[in-house]
Structure 1
Amino acid sequence: MNFKVYFVLIYSLPVFACEVTDLSCKLLEKFNLYGIHQNGDIIIGGLFPIHFTVTLPELTYKTKPEMLQCEGFNFRTFRWLQMMIFTIEQINKDQTLLPNIRLGYSIYDNCRKVPQAVRAAITLLNEIDNMSKNYKCTGSSPIAAIVGDARSTQSIITGRIAGQFRIPMVSYSSSCSCLSNKLEFPTFFRTIPSDSFQAKAMAQLVKHFGWTWVGSIATQDDYGQYLVQLFNEKIQNYGVCLAFTEVIPKIPSRRKILQIVDTIKRSTAKVIALFAGVGDIIYLANEVVRQNITSMQWIASETWSTAALLATKTNFRSFGGTIGFAFRKAEIPQFKEFLLKVRPSLTPHNSLVNRFWERMFGCTFNLSDNSTRLSATTISKSICTGQEDIEEIDSVYSDVSQLRVSYNVYKAVYAIAHALHNLETCDPDKGPFLNKTCANISHFEPWQLLHYLKEVNFTNDFGEKVHFDENGDPIASYDIMNWQMDADGSVKIVTVGLFDASATSGQELLIDEDRIIFCDGTTKIPRSICSENCPPGTRKAARKGQPVCCFDCLQCAEGEISNQTDSVHCFTCPIDYWPNQEHDQCVLKEIEFLSFEDTLGIILTTIALFGTGITIVMLVIFIHYRNTPVVRANNVELSFLLLISLVLCFLCSLTFIGQPTTWSCILRHTVFGTSFALCISCILGKTIVVLMAFSATLPNNNMMKYFGPLQQRASVFACTFLQVIICMLWLATSPPVPVKNTKYQSAKIILECDVGSATAFWCMLGYIGLLAGTSVILAFLARKLPDNFNEAKFITFSMLTFSAVWVTFIPAYISSPGKYTVAVEIFAILSSTFGLAACNFVPKCYIILIKPDQNTKKHLMGRAVAASK
């Protein structure tokens, strides 16, 4: 930036030269500057961009360069200049603010170009104008302060120059946030907010309407580049992405304009933020209209949001519905009357007023000096009389309905006046300077006025408080504007909201959405997104190499949901829940267990109770016929004990039905293990009795005396007690517990009992298997013994049935899902129990009840004898 300043100074200096003699400076060549001047006790400088552009001369070493020529008169900015003059005259008439001081002014046109702006600034600082001939080159500054500049780039350069001399500058339109740096610009103040606030306001506007895919266009200057950078940073904090960023060159280029328009057409973004001045936008706007680009929602910076030059019926087709930010406006009494009183005759020899008059009425003054260059076009125009009526012309100049920048000029002049007032009314011996001295209003230094300007704090006639913070910035507030079509076909710019940076966080932006007309001519908010929102049940997956706003929507994986729009992640449901079909909410999983209400549970319960009843009936029969030969033939006590164990085996199956609890899990396994150990122990005892009985019939063999009733009861007790010990150790170390199994069926919760210690569980089953295996072997050995009613054969059949059921049970148990696993286990228990009961007791009951004639000792002994033969 310093290089840029030095360059324009070098470019500007050759225009004049000074011969220093006795501290005087003589102008050798006049500047081609347009200005208005008025003498006074204190002179306030002013810089305004009255012309659009500058015609650059051809530079060659052969000839002397021609003067820069300003072209394109701007009536709106000329109104700003008039506001400064009007305000100064109002202050001069005020007998309370500066009653003994008359303010003067020296105002120049900088033509919106850096070289001309530097020339104007140097002219102000050195009291050089195009009317004088001798100038003072030393001493204090001829001006107390400068009102200006309009554009940030010019203010940066002028601010650095003025800062070297401690001369205050109060800008009315330079909004670059860089100017808040007091180290670089110690004397700079402004009456408009910094762009950092405008960037924040724009970002909140984008967020408010839900736009996530936005393009941006900015001028290639400090204003545009700083503002677009701030805007991009702010919107990214809100998750908004930039579709594109384009730059409007300072030197008009049709090729670049066509490139920007092509980018707009190709982009899927429907919202574009445009940061540029009116003069920079004209060429782009014309091309957009020419190519009939419509349905784009434009967001306007404060530089063009209220520009009548752009808000035309022709442009409305492409720019209708534009939403922008504008400075707060005010209706200033008597200002319009002041504007209409302007006459060339009141300011003789003032070329700026003359050019205004010529452009307003399309005429020309036939001047003899060189201030107006004649051309064929000029000669063809009528001669201006100076008496033309401004009221007959409907122009931007006389339109005081949108006094926004003009109002900021008004506040800037009054801020300087109040600073002068405070300087004048300083109490002696209480001043802010060395030894508590005060400045002399008749002869003060600019740095002294700078001190008071920092402390300015007043409320103007419109109720607005004016003061500057430590960065020289005012309280930030903007009106939100909307371009709408009036009933008569004209374009009206309507205020639809407010941004107040001093409001509570989150409450700064106030918008009346019902009053907004968008780009499509309706009140419906347009959409501008790179990718459609991901509905609940899906998650966003970023596209490689594209901004985060561009993504694909992927269905949540099995067992996961997302219950929000545009969810980044899917999350797993709690263990008791499962995603619904849409994967957008967790629903309670189906809980599965074999209950008493299920059809299968009812059937198994009925079978178990039926088996229990049948066994009890057989027990009653055996008790009733306990003295009969059939019952007494093979150890009555073991038969009774076996029947009781079979009842327990039938009943233990009921503990497997119903919702698993801690106690039911403990009971189902321990009762099952103990009951079957008792049952098999009884059968083993009966088998041994058969073998002993047969051995007792052999000569010299009396084994039964070693395995009498006491020994039989002891063996059964010992075999059963060992199983009890195993179960007790199991419960003491790691007992069975109820668990929720989701391993095999993720959509269901299978309530089941976990065995706890697998070792103890298999020891319990292994012990039953050991007893059963021993019984099978002994029964097989005794199957052909001539026992009573084929007792050995019945035991053999019962144990083979028992073994077959449980061997078949293992693969069926493993392959059965959910509650059917428990059903298979119950079925194995019931089947094996029925097998034991049927093989051991049904034949005896048949003899007792159906064939009582065979229930005799004679028949029993006869059969035994026949078998022995």
Structure 2
Amino acid sequence: MTPRLLTPLSFLLYCCLSVFAKTHLQYEGDILLGSLFPIHKQNHLHKGDPCGDIQSEDGIQPLEAMLFTLDNINEDESILKGVRLGAVAYDSCDDPIFASEQAVPFLEGFMSRKYEVESCEAPSSGRPRNTSRDDPPWSSDLVVGMIGPQTSAVSVQLANLGRIFKVPQISYLSTSDKLCNAAEFPYFFRTVPSDVHQAKAIAELFAEFKWNYASVVHSDSEYGEMGYQALKDQFDSKGICLAKPLVIINKYFVAEDYRGIIRSLMDMKLSRIVIVFCDRIPAGRLLEAVKELGVFDRFLWVGSDAWASRESVVKGRESAVLGAVAVQPLRRSYPGFDDYFRSLFESNERNPWFPEYLRVYHNCSSYEVCSQKEDLLIEEQQLYVHFVRDAVYAFAYALDALIMDSCGPPRGGNRLCPQFWKASRDELRSYLENVTFKDIGGNDFSFYGSHEHSLKESSSFFFRHDGPPRYTIINFQERGDSYDWYKIGTYINGKILLNSEIVNFTQHPVTSCTRKSCRPYEIRVPSSSDGCCWTCKQCSINEFRKSEYECGLCPLGEISSVGDNFTTCSLVPEIFMDFRDKWAIASMSFASVGISMTLMTSFIFWKYWETPVVKASGRELSLLLLLGTFLSFSATFVIVAKPSKVTCGTMRFCIGFCYTVCYAAVVTKTNRVARIFRMDNSNSSNNNNPRWTSPLSSLLIAGALVSVEVLINIVWLLLEPPEAVVVVSLMGKRILVCAGVDDNFMAGLVYPFILILGATLYAFKTRKCPGGFNETRYIFFANAVTTIHWFAYVPLYLVSADPHIRAVILALSLCLSAIVQLGCLLFPKLYTVLFKPEKNTRDAVMTSHHNRRFPSNIHPNGSNNNFRSSSFLFEYSRGGGSTLEMSHSSFEAMTGNEHRHLTWSHTLSAVEENNLQSSLATPASRVKPTRIRSTSISRSTQTASSLDVSKKAISFFVNISDEDDLVYEEDCRD
């Protein structure tokens, strides 16, 4: 339901926003790529306007890199021949919410396609729809995918929309590990690797320099949080310790807060290396705090890809950054882009933000002024813009393959056939996953699968959605009168290569704390507050090594065990049941089969949820019964586990609770059926509908019954808390068992046994219900088997001294009871549903096993004697062209083609002849029967609200009273 609501809501959002003039760039094309670039910085200070100053490094340059790439593609006859690839670009202002609003115009086409599918409307023929005068100047149906955004926080927001509306999206710089989840973001791609690989590269860098201790500062953004977690995982695997992290709150930190972060770092005396995993703006403010406090030589900074190599971050703070090292996605210069960018200063009409850029960065009021400036300084190319090029080419080659498969090779004219537009909605993602092309270095580019994550969480991570893991390691150095980032190594496909001769950070006091390995009988004594550094201390002879930091005292008569590396005290080994025991394996195997049967039954019930047989079984209570059987099978895994307070308490709780859940469902269901059909008192002519028969009421009643057992178990556990104790057998074995493994365990079975008796009683009372509701035989058998096996296993359990045998008896008892419940109460329903579909009808369910048929005419008779009651199906047949009439015009079925609604609320008299062929006559004197029976209708339910008068039979399900037995006919209903 949620996606269907989002479509109109998104359109409403678009309509609301369309009243504002949105600056955007349009690059004409037969196919369009939507794109989002952070043309302006995010404005944290003013809530009214989300956009701050224009930025060149991360705004204008990547946008122009996309346009430059589109020019190259459209001029290349080897790709997308006969098709012009275009784009529409909006400003994200690096703000997730604002970016979502900006993306609505080019998401409109995807929204309408999804709405057509989900509302079952006929989809469009494949060609884009014509735009109305209120639409943007370009058709949203031409948009097939999206380039960007840049930062991870914005990409996560847009990737959520992409999942809903199936929008392929390729980011050129979002590296957050969260975006690795191809199951959560199936339409998100990126040309850069995940931060998981960046964390691996940093960890390898630490190992190369033999650093084993560092502090870390990260921002509270998606990028910072996920980056820190990836760092911690990688450092833990290599034995490198991270001090307690310091977090920057991006939106609320002011200058004093950043100075506080630096002071906290200075308090960590042993930590000189600081990893900064922050976004660009907070990283710059942190370095500004270093400059203000004048602690230039105190730290060695290790930078992440979001801020390292950014001129806007280090400009004016060079002394604070000097010596820093950083890991960046592969840095390369985009050939031809520098010349292209310089040419824009003469004329750039297609970029609406370029005049503002000229005015802010170059003090140019017009292109003519800029072209005449001799001292015009054009900033250096950002060495990540080639990832923008890869993103555009990925779309281009994927679209080229899709067009070729959908429309064939170019034959002149419009190459985009209707089949392409239809396929682009669903198949473009798979083409992107398999795209391969040459990058600017001449290497093959294809999206990379995150194999590591697939092993941890889901097979969906085998999707190829990330850029290849290639990094450049850089060092901030002073050479002559200038400062810059210089390449000192690479990290490609898990291998690090460093040129140590050009590394320059020896001026900093890089130190490592003592983290030597302690001997088995020694513990660590921390020498730093975070526990990263320590010395070793030996435990005494009567102590064992309780943990890495604590010695524990052995009980009297015990000493530390050399064989266990002094982590325990030596004594006779304990024995206990665990998952490796052969009896446990046998029990768990049996329980696993039962769980599979329960899940299969649940699935079949769910699949045939709306069929009469499933409805008649009491769906909600049947689910409760399935829950009880599932718990009964699952309890086996607790019973055979190693005894502990948790497992012992859980086992004691489950023994009675599992039975209670099953039989509470059976008691409630049979009680409900008995009250609905009023089998024990139907001679009143004014029976009200029974109360508390709705599914919710039944569940509440069953819950109340179960709560009694829960209360009993809670009181029992409070009065006698569970615990695992060691008992010494006659053979001298130390056996770990649950305390109270005697007849106390039987206390939880008293209440379930009462429920079994109640279920048996109500099963007897509902024995004359219609076949679909009558489970008397099955319930009798299930209860009998349960009772018999109780009387068998209880003595066996009590007399057995072997804890293994006791556990197996207890587990098999619960499993056997659950098997009986499934076999007797649920499998018959499955048999009917799967193999007897002709009986899975309302008529078959509502029909008694013994129905009476009276072919008859009808006349009124007010007899209302106090007779025995039963439920029957009556069929009243009319002969020839006669009519069926009822006194007071209660109902009438005339011959002809008319349809009348029939009502029934009166008393009948049934006249039966010697041959048992009965008829109703008006008046009764016309028939000379052998005997007459009076019947009184206490309740009747018409099987159809209208009747085809051409039929000769009218059927009613009624309650009647008779004075003696009649001859029954099996399945007499036609």
TM-score (norm 2): 0.47
Whether the 8 Å CA contact 1:424–1:439 is kept in 2: the answer is no
Match of 2:479 in 1: 486
What 5-or-longer segments of structure 2 have no aligned partner? 111-130, 410-415, 450-462, 542-547, 552-974
CA distance in 1, matches of 2:86, 2:27: 5
CA displacement at 1:91 relative to structure 2: 0.2
What secondary structure sits across from 2:266 in the alignment? helix
What secondary structure sits across from 2:490 in the alignment? strand
Relative distance call for 1:481 and 1:96 in structure 2 (3 A) is same
CA displacement at 1:75 relative to structure 2: 3.7
What secondary structure sits across from 1:528 in the alignment? coil
CA displacement at 1:556 relative to structure 2: 11
Match of 1:299 in 2: 302
Q: Does 1:449 align with 2:449?
A: no
Whether the 8 Å CA contact 1:153–1:222 is kept in 2: the answer is yes
Instruction: Give a deviation string over 1:20-61, Cα, whole Å, max 9, x none.
Output: xxxxxxx75125x44321111011111111222226766xxx
* 2:325 partner letter: I
Relative distance call for 1:399 and 1:69 in structure 2 (3 A) is closer
Match of 1:17 in 2: 15
CA distance in 1, matches of 2:160, 2:18: 27
Match of 1:79 in 2: 61
Match of 1:187 in 2: 187
Instruction: Give a deviation string over 1:193-212, Cα, whole Å, max 9, x none.
Output: 01111111111212222222
Relative distance call for 1:72 and 1:333 in structure 2 (3 A) is closer
Whether the 8 Å CA contact 2:346–2:371 is kept in 1: the answer is no
Match of 1:847 in 2: none
Instruction: Give a deviation string over 1:461-498, Cα, whole Å, max 9, x none.
Output: 521211113240122010111111111x2112111111
CA distance in 2, matches of 1:554, 1:54: 54
Match of 1:41 in 2: 30
Match of 1:96 in 2: 78
1:413 to 380, 392, 399: 392
CA displacement at 1:415 relative to structure 2: 0.6
2:272 to 248, 263, 270: 270
Match of 2:682 in 1: none
Whether the 8 Å CA contact 1:141–1:446 is kept in 2: the answer is no
Match of 1:316 in 2: 318
Instruction: Give a deviation string over 1:202-248, Cα, whole Å, max 9, x none.
Output: 11212222222211111111111001011012112222222231112
What secondary structure sits across from 1:46 in the alignment? strand
Q: Does 1:106 align with 2:96?
A: no
Relative distance call for 1:496 and 1:123 in structure 2 (3 A) is same
CA displacement at 1:155 relative to structure 2: 0.5
Match of 2:487 in 1: 495
CA displacement at 1:332 relative to structure 2: 2.7
CA distance in 1, matches of 2:367, 2:492: 49
* 1:484 partner letter: Q
CA distance in 2, matches of 1:210, 1:140: 55
CA distance in 2, matches of 1:554, 1:270: 26
Q: Does 1:116 align with 2:98?
A: yes
Whether the 8 Å CA contact 2:172–2:391 is kept in 1: the answer is yes
CA distance in 1, matches of 2:311, 2:372: 19
* 1:190-209 alignment runs, 5 A limit: 190-209=190-209
Match of 1:529 in 2: 512
CA distance in 2, matches of 1:394, 1:136: 37
Q: What is the total number of aligned residue pairs between the two structures?
A: 499
CA distance in 1, matches of 2:294, 2:348: 47
Match of 2:469 in 1: 476
Whose radius of gyration is greater, 1 or 2?
1
2:332 to 306, 326, 330: 330
CA distance in 1, matches of 2:132, 2:140: 19
% identical equivalent positions: 24
1:403 to 383, 389, 398: 383
* 1:424 partner letter: I
Match of 2:160 in 1: 160
CA distance in 2, matches of 1:544, 1:73: 46
CA displacement at 1:132 relative to structure 2: 10
Whether the 8 Å CA contact 2:524–2:549 is kept in 1: the answer is no
CA displacement at 1:550 relative to structure 2: 1.9
CA distance in 2, matches of 1:439, 1:412: 25
What secondary structure sits across from 1:215 in the alignment? strand
CA root-mean-square deviation: 3.9
Whether the 8 Å CA contact 1:340–1:390 is kept in 2: the answer is no
Match of 1:518 in 2: 505
Instruction: Give a deviation string over 1:348-373, Cα, whole Å, max 9, x none.
Output: 7x54122112112235xxxxxxxxxx
Match of 1:708 in 2: none
Whether the 8 Å CA contact 2:218–2:276 is kept in 1: the answer is yes
2:443 to 457, 464, 480: 464
What secondary structure sits across from 1:247 in the alignment? strand
Relative distance call for 1:67 and 1:386 in structure 2 (3 A) is farther
Match of 2:649 in 1: none
Whether the 8 Å CA contact 1:193–1:473 is kept in 2: the answer is yes
What secondary structure sits across from 1:244 in the alignment? coil
CA displacement at 1:115 relative to structure 2: 2.1
CA distance in 2, matches of 1:273, 1:331: 27
CA distance in 2, matches of 1:55, 1:393: 34
CA distance in 2, matches of 1:76, 1:344: 22
Instruction: Give a deviation string over 1:837-862, Cα, whole Å, max 9, x none.
Output: xxxxxxxxxxxxxxxxxxxxxxxxxx
* 1:456-855 alignment runs, 5 A limit: 456-468=435-447, 469=449, 470-487=463-480, 489-501=481-493, 503=494, 508-518=495-505, 520=507, 526-531=509-514, 541-543=524-526, 546-553=529-536
What secondary structure sits across from 1:541 in the alignment? strand
* 1:457 partner letter: T
Whether the 8 Å CA contact 1:479–1:498 is kept in 2: the answer is yes
CA displacement at 1:83 relative to structure 2: 0.4
Relative distance call for 1:447 and 1:249 in structure 2 (3 A) is same
Whether the 8 Å CA contact 2:304–2:327 is kept in 1: the answer is yes
What secondary structure sits across from 1:462 in the alignment? coil
* 1:452 partner letter: Y
Whether the 8 Å CA contact 2:475–2:487 is kept in 1: the answer is yes
CA distance in 1, matches of 2:375, 2:245: 40
Match of 1:170 in 2: 170
Relative distance call for 1:428 and 1:46 in structure 2 (3 A) is closer
CA displacement at 1:429 relative to structure 2: 9.9
What 5-or-longer segments of structure 1 have no aligned partner? 19-26, 59-65, 364-382, 431-436, 559-565, 570-869
Whether the 8 Å CA contact 1:52–1:70 is kept in 2: the answer is yes
Whether the 8 Å CA contact 1:531–1:550 is kept in 2: the answer is yes
CA displacement at 1:189 relative to structure 2: 0.6
* 1:113-152 alignment runs, 5 A limit: 113-126=95-108, 134-135=134-135, 141-152=141-152
* 2:29 partner letter: G
What secondary structure sits across from 1:425 in the alignment? helix
Relative distance call for 1:476 and 1:333 in structure 2 (3 A) is same
Match of 2:402 in 1: 423
Whether the 8 Å CA contact 1:340–1:391 is kept in 2: the answer is no
CA distance in 2, matches of 1:390, 1:196: 48
Relative distance call for 1:416 and 1:385 in structure 2 (3 A) is closer
Whether the 8 Å CA contact 1:327–1:478 is kept in 2: the answer is yes
Whether the 8 Å CA contact 1:323–1:482 is kept in 2: the answer is yes
Match of 2:223 in 1: 223
CA distance in 1, matches of 2:63, 2:408: 39
Match of 1:854 in 2: none
* 1:513 partner letter: S
Match of 1:580 in 2: none
* 1:278 partner letter: R
